[in-house]
Amino acid sequence: MAQQEISCGLDYITAPDLQACLSEALHANYAFIVSPIIHPRFRRPILPSGGTVGGFTRSDMILSPQDWNSRIVGKLSEYLDPDAPSPIVRQRHEDSLNEELSYCRGLGLPAVMLSLHSKYTNNLARTLHTYFETSHHPTLIWASVPMLCHKTLKANIDIDNENDDAWNEPWHWWTKFHERMGWDKRIGVVIEMSADLPSQDILKRWLGEPIRAIIVPTSLFHNNRKGYPVLSRAHQQVVLSMVEHDAQVIVSGARRSNIEYYLQYLYRVWKRRPYIGDDPMLSYAKGWEDYLQTPLQPLADNLDTHTYNVFEKDPVKYDQYQKAIAQALTDIHKKRKGEGIDDHQSDSCIIEAKKCEVGQGDNTVKENERPITVMVLGAGRGPLVRATLNAADITNSKVKVIAVEKNPCAVVVLAAQVREVWRDRDVIVIPGDMRQVNFSPKADIIVSELLGSWGDNELSPECLDGAAGLLKSGGISIPREYSSYVAPISSPRLWAAARAASPGNSAQIEKNLETLWVVYMQNKHDIAETKCVFTFDHPAKGMKNYEGQDLTDYRGLPMTDNRRCTTLTWEVEQDNVMHGFGGYFDCLLYGKEMISIVPSTHSPGMISWFPIFIPIKTPLRVMKGDKIKAIFWRCVSARRVWYEWIVEVGVHTTPLHNPNGRSSEMLL
C-alpha cells in the first residue's frame, strides 16, 4: 500500500461561501473539498466569437494561493456535453468547457473533475488534448463515472442478463475516453459507488484502472444502534480495496449526520484492516508500487553493496536453499552407503560416481569419509556459503565449500569471512568467472542463485552451462529446474509509465515499450490465467547430431541450445484492454523444495524478486470470447541474449517487439 493514511475529501453540490465551506471541511479534518467552478444553475451568454459577457464566477482572491493549489478540486459543470448531437449545443458547451478549464488553469488547481455521460467523448478528448498542450501547470483530470448505469439498467429491466450491461457500460465510457487521451497518466477515474454492488470480477477490473477517488454518497450510510453512520461490510470492503490502490475517498450528498462522523468512521475502517506487517512482501514493497526498474545484469555488471544487502535480507529464499542443500547432502550419504532413496528424489540427478573416483575394496570406507565438495557459483557476499555450512551441521556432513565469485568487492568480503568467521571450516574462495574457472576435484553439488524476475533473464542457463565442467558426472545442481510464466494484464498506469520511462523522441518511446521492466505490480488486472513459457533443467542435456551422437565444445562440455520459442493462447472471459503481460517464475531447487513468485504459488514471505512487466506497443481492446495468442522467442548469439514477442487478437496483430534485441538485451 502506497499511502500511510486514508485521504478524504468533502463534496459540495454548491458553495455559496467557498471560504466558509473550506474552513468547515478542514475543521472536520477533511484533506480537501470538491467544489463547482461556477454555480450549477448558471448559464452564460455566449458570443459568436466564443467570448463571454462579464464575469462568470467568483474572484480567486477569496482564498490563498496555497488553498487553491492544494485543497480545492474544481468540478466542471456537469451539464456540459461537448459531444452533444446538436451542433449548436455542442459548440456552446465546448466554449463553456474551455472557459472553465482556462479559469482552472489560472487558479492552479491540483485536479479538475469532469463527468462522463456516454461513450461519445471524441470532442471532449480533443479539447483536453489542447488544454494539456497549452497548460504548463501539472493539473490532473479526474473523470467521474457511476459504478452502475441506471439508464441501461432501466432499459434492460425485462432482460435476464444479470444486468451485466449496466455494470459494464460505465467501464466502457471510461476506457474509451482514456484510450482517446492516449492512456495519459495525468488522467484518472473517479467512481461513484452505488447501493448495489457488481460482481467481484467487475470490481477487480476496476482495480486495474488508475483510480483517483471513490465517491461515497451519504445515502449509503445507515445509523448503527448508537446513531453513528456506518457502511455495510460489502461497501466497506470496496472502499478499502480502492484506497489500497491509492484512491482517495470523497463523501458526497445530503448531510444525514455530522460530517465529522463520516470521516471518523472511515478512519476506523481503515485502521481495522489487516496489519501490513503481517505480510513481509507488502512491508518490503511499500513505496515501490508500480515503480518501473530495469532488470539487473549481474553477468555484465558487478552488483553494489546496497543490492547485496537487499537480497540478503530475504529469510525465506535462503531457508529454502538450506533445506535443499541438506536434502542433497543426505541423499549423497545414502548413495555412498548404498541405501535406497525416496521416489521423489530418485529423479534429482543423484551422484553416480565413477569407479576411479569412488574406489574399491578398503577404499570404500575412505570414500564415505571424504568430504562432500559443494561449489557455490556466484557466491556474492556469502549467504549461500552460510546456508551450505548450516545444512552440513544439520545433516552432520563433512563438506568442502568452494566459493566462486567474479565481483572484486564481493571477493574481499568473502576472503574476510574465511579469515574471521569460517576459519575453522573448509572454505576456499576462487575469484573469477564461473565459466572460465578450472578446478579439481570436481564438485558433488553446485549451488547458485542466478535467477532473475523472469527466471532465465539474468542468464542463469548460459552461466551454468558454461560451468558444467566443474560438476562431477551425475552431480547435483541446485537449482535443478526453473520455468518462466506470463499472464495477459490490463494496466494503463504501468503502460503509461513504461512509455514515459526514458523521455525522448518516438524512437525512444518505442524502445521503452520493447523493454522488460521489473516492478511490484499493484494497479493491474489479470485478464486470464498464468501460463508457462520457458523451462530450463540443470545439468542440461547436450545436443545430438543427426546420427544421435552427443555434441561437445572445445572443452569437451556438452553443447546446449538455450534458444526457445513458445506459443500461448488464452480465452477472454470479460471485456478488457490488454496493455502487456505480467512475468513470473518458479524454481525447483532440489527434491520438493521450491521457490516461486507465480501469484498462485508465491513463496510466503519471499521478497527477493518483483515480477516483470512486458508491455505491448499498442494496447489491444479484447472482448469476452476473444482469443489472445502470444508468441515468445528467446534468442541467443555469441555475445548476447534477448527476447522477442508478438500478440494476436482476432484480426488485430501487434508488430514484432524487440527484433534482433534492438531495444533490450542481456550481455554475455
pLDDT digits (tens, 9 = 90+) for 143-167: 999 999 888 777 776 555 556 888 9
Look-up: residue for cell 518483483?
Answer: 610
Task: Check whether 434 is labelled as a binding-site residue.
Answer: yes
Q: Which of 314, 348, 349, 394 is nearest to 592 (CA)?
A: 348
In the predicted model, is pLDDT for residue 364 greater than 80? no
Give whole-number Cα distances, 440 to 375, 400, 402, 437, 454, in Å.
Answer: 11, 12, 11, 10, 33
CA angle 67, 44, 37 (to 5 degrees): 15
Contact call for residues 251 and 263 (beta carbons, < 8 A): yes
Beta strands 666-667 and 640-649 are: antiparallel
The contacts of residue 279 (CB under 8 Å, 6+ apart) are 605
Q: Are 624 and 573 in contact (CB under 8 A)?
A: yes
| Confidence at residue 667, expressed as pLDDT on a 0 to 100 scale | 92
Provide the grid cell at 158: 425485462
Q: How far apart are CA 592 and CA 239, in angstroms?
A: 40
Give residue 162's pLDDT.
55
Tell me: pLDDT of 90 over 50: yes
Stretch 66-85: mean pLDDT: 93
Dihedral sign for Cα 433, 438, 440, 444, please.
positive
Q: 99 catalytic, yes or no?
A: no
How far apart (Å, rounded) are the C-alpha atoms in residues 576 and 559? 44
Residue-level pLDDT at 572: 96
CATH 2.40.10.10 fits 481-667, yes or no: no
Q: Which CATH architecture has domain 305-449?
A: 3-Layer(aba) Sandwich (3.40)
Q: Which of 353-362, 516-525, 589-598 has the lowest mean pLDDT?
A: 353-362
CB 56 within 8 A of CB 42: yes
Structure confidence at residue 506 (pLDDT)? 84
Which of 124-133, 330-339, 509-518 has the least mean pLDDT? 330-339
Which tens digits make up the pLDDT trace of 477-486? 999 999 999 9
Of residues 94, 458, 514, 593, which has the active-site annotation? 458
Looking at residue 127, its pLDDT comes to 95
Q: What pLDDT band is residue 210 in, cutting at 50, 70 and 90?
A: very high
pLDDT of residue 370: 87
Nearest to 101 by CA among 114, 87, 119, 84: 114
546 annotated to a ligand binding site: no
Give the pLDDT confidence score for residue 504 in this predicted structure. 77
| Alpha carbons within 13 A on the beta-carbon side of 251 | 30
How far is Cα 412 from Cα 617, in angstroms, rounded to an integer?
A: 44
Average pLDDT over residues 179-186: 94
Please state, in angstroms and rounded to a whole number, the distance separating the CA atoms of residues 501 and 375.
40
Is 317 marked within a binding site? yes
Q: In percent, how much of the chain has pLDDT > 90?
A: 68
* Chain mean pLDDT for the chain: 89
> Rounded mean pLDDT of 627-643?
96
Rounded CA separation 47/58 (Å)? 21
Query: Which set of grid coordinates corresponds to residue 605?
Result: 514471505
Residues 75-87, mean pLDDT to the nearest whole number: 93
> Does residue 41 carry a pLDDT above 60?
yes
Rounded to whole angstroms, the Cα distance separating 130 from 68 reads 23
Q: What is the pLDDT of residue 356?
A: 37
Exactly one of 94, 289, 449, 462 is catalytic; name it. Answer: 449
CA quadruple 374, 378, 382, 384: dihedral positive or negative? negative
Q: How much is the pLDDT for 51?
A: 54
pLDDT reported for residue 558? 84
DSSP characters for 404-468? EE--HHHHHHHHHHHHHTSTTS-EEEEES-TTT---SSPEEEEEE---BTTBSTT-HHHHHHHTG
CATH classification (class only), 8-274: alpha beta
Residue 164 has a pLDDT of 81
Cβ–Cβ under 8 Å, residues 402 and 396? no
How many angstroms separate the CA atoms of 492 and 498, rounded? 10
pLDDT, tens digit, for every residue of 316-363? 999 999 999 999 999 999 988 876 555 444 444 443 433 334 344 445
For residues 497 and 144, give the distance between their C-alpha atoms in angstroms, rounded to a whole number.
Answer: 22
Please give the Cα distance from 382 to 292 (Å, whole number): 29
Is residue 579 helix, strand or coil?
strand
Quick one: pLDDT at residue 14? 87
Q: Does 612 score more than 90 pLDDT?
A: yes
What does the pLDDT read at residue 363?
A: 52
Give the H or E element holding residue 283: helix 280-285
Query: Does a cis peptide bond (omega within 30 degrees of 0) precede residue 479?
Result: yes
State the Cα–Cα distance between residues 403 and 434, nearest whole angstrom. 10
pLDDT band per the 50, 70, 90 thresholds, residue 451: very high
Which amino acid, residue 645? Answer: W
pLDDT of residue 366: 61
Query: Please, what's the b/e burial string for 161-198 (b: 16 or more CB within 10 A of its CB; e: otherwise)?
Result: eebbebbbbbbbbbbbbbebbebbbebbbbbbbbeebb
Q: Give the pLDDT band of residue 582 (cuts 50, 70, 90).
A: very high
Q: What is the pLDDT of residue 554?
A: 76
Tell me if residue 462 is catalytic: no
What average pLDDT score do residues 376-404 get? 95
Question: Which pTM value belongs to this model?
Answer: 0.89
Position with higher pLDDT, 263 vs 439: 263
d(CA 235, CA 289): 25
Cα 15 from Cα 199, distance rounded (Å):
36
Mean pLDDT over 590-619 rounds to 95
Q: Which amino acid is at 275?
A: Y
The answer to the question of whether 120 is labelled as a binding residue is no
Dihedral angle computed from the Cα positions of residues 254, 256, 261 and 264, in that order, rounded to the nearest 10 degrees:
-50
Q: What is the mean pLDDT of residues 369-384?
A: 93
> What pLDDT digit, counting tens, does each position of 464-475 carry?
999 999 999 889
> Is 15 a residue whose pLDDT tops 90?
no
Domain boundaries, given as residue ranges, for the chain: 8-274, 305-449, 481-667
Query: Using the 8-state DSSP alphabet, how is residue 352 labeled?
Result: -
pLDDT at position 353, please? 38
Whether pLDDT at 455 is above 80: yes
For residue 132, with 0-12 CB atoms within 10 Å meaning exposed, 13-18 middle and 19 or more buried, which class applies? middle
pLDDT at 272 over 90: no
**Neighbouring-strand partners of residue 471:** 443
Mean pLDDT check: name the lowest of 106-115, 301-310, 391-400, 637-646.
301-310
Cβ proximity of 610 and 639 under 8 Å: no
Of the candidate ranges 344-358, 422-436, 525-539, 613-627, the one whose mean pLDDT is the lowest: 344-358
Higher model confidence: residue 356 or residue 423?
Answer: 423
Q: How confident is the model at residue 357, as a pLDDT? A: 40
Summarize pLDDT for 228-255 with one digit per residue, the tens: 999 999 999 999 999 999 999 999 999 8
Mean pLDDT, range 104-108, rounded to an integer: 90
